[in-house]
Structure 1
Amino acid sequence: MKKRCIMNQVYKEDAKKYGPKMINEVDDVKDVFLKKLKMNEEHKEVMMLFALDTRNRIIEVFEVFGGESDIKIVTPRKMFKSLVLCNAYRFICVHNHLNGDTCPSAEDKQLAKELQKYGEMLQIELLDFCIVGDNNILSFQNKSLL
């Protein structure tokens, strides 16, 4: 079962392929995004949400953007729809930078703040916002950007 989410459709990937993985630190995130998803090898911009339960286990995986057009079209409303429907307790948002640089843009910082704000209102905690580059990952949580 493999589904993806682009624009108004919700595509979901089978969370089982990531194992009963608990996400507790950036190395766990790095393992999933670089080793299993190989987001650093993508030839298009991709943004994904990992919905987590109360023990930080992956329960659902959603691709909320995948394409060559501007990632700025992604809205928190579209993202939280998927999270609410799967009863997520926490979530991680990750996307790649095609140029390989993990330095966050102003838009990245703005989106992370919006997701954190809306997550607080809906009681779905933003655990981390990550940017994947060339074999590297930047965690907003580790850099105290959240």
Structure 2
Amino acid sequence: MSAAKRVNIVTVKLVKESSMLYKQRRVRSPQDSYELFREYLGEVDREHFVVVCLDTKNQPTNISMVHIGSLNASIVHPREVMKTAILSNSCSVLVCHSHPSGDPTPSPEDIDTTQRLYEAGQIWGIELLDHIIIGDGKFISLKEKGYF
């Protein structure tokens, strides 16, 4: 007979680290998304990948930093985005990442990540509303560009 295995009993929680005011209250457009992300990120020197969880009225409930990358790369897996959304009881999510080069043009990896997030959202019942890429004072909406 083999020895018994100890199984940990755990609780999973979101922890509020801080907060910020969002004057718009609701996200109604890619421009609104950009303003929210720009306010949160400020000026960054590496790629940051962020998820905003939204309720049924498209009001942001929380913002989470999913990954901080290098000067030109960020590795993001759908489970990291959806983990925050599931724990937040989100109806939908917005994702954003920065391009420190200043050029918000999506790379093939950005497009692939977006499509994977969209598909994961379909499975989990959490809609991906948009993926915003921020550059020097400008942005691109991958939804508006038809990438998903």
Where on the TM-score scale, by shorter chain, does this alignment land: which range? 0.7 to 0.9
Q: How many residues align?
A: 134
Q: CA deviation at 1:16?
A: 4.6
Contact kept in structure 1, 2:52 and 2:95, CA below 8 Å? yes
Structure number with the higher strand fraction is 1
User: Which of 44, 47, 51 lines up with 1:49 in the alignment?
Assistant: 51
* Aligned mates of 2:15, 2:49 — CA distance in 1: 12
Question: With structure 1 as the length reference, what TM-score do the two structures score?
Answer: 0.83
Find the structure with the greater CA-based Rg.
Answer: 2
Judged with a 3 Å threshold, the aligned counterparts in structure 2 of structure 1 residues 104 and 47 are, in CA distance, closer, same or farther, namely same
- Percent of aligned positions that are identical: 29
Gaps of 5+ in 1: 1-9
Contact kept in structure 1, 2:48 and 2:69, CA below 8 Å? yes
Question: With structure 2 as the length reference, what TM-score do the two structures score?
Answer: 0.82
* Aligned mates of 1:119, 1:24 — CA distance in 2: 19
Contact kept in structure 2, 1:50 and 1:58, CA below 8 Å? yes
Structure number with the higher helix fraction is 1
Could you say which residue in structure 1 is the equivalent of 2:74?
Answer: 71
* Aligned mates of 1:15, 1:92 — CA distance in 2: 18
How big is the alpha-carbon RMSD for the aligned residues of Structure 1 and Structure 2?
A: 1.9
Could you say which residue in structure 2 is the equivalent of 1:33?
Answer: 37
Judged with a 3 Å threshold, the aligned counterparts in structure 2 of structure 1 residues 109 and 91 are, in CA distance, closer, same or farther, namely same
Contact kept in structure 2, 1:14 and 1:60, CA below 8 Å? no
Structure 1 residue ranges, 4+ long, deviating more than 3 angstroms after superposition = 10-16
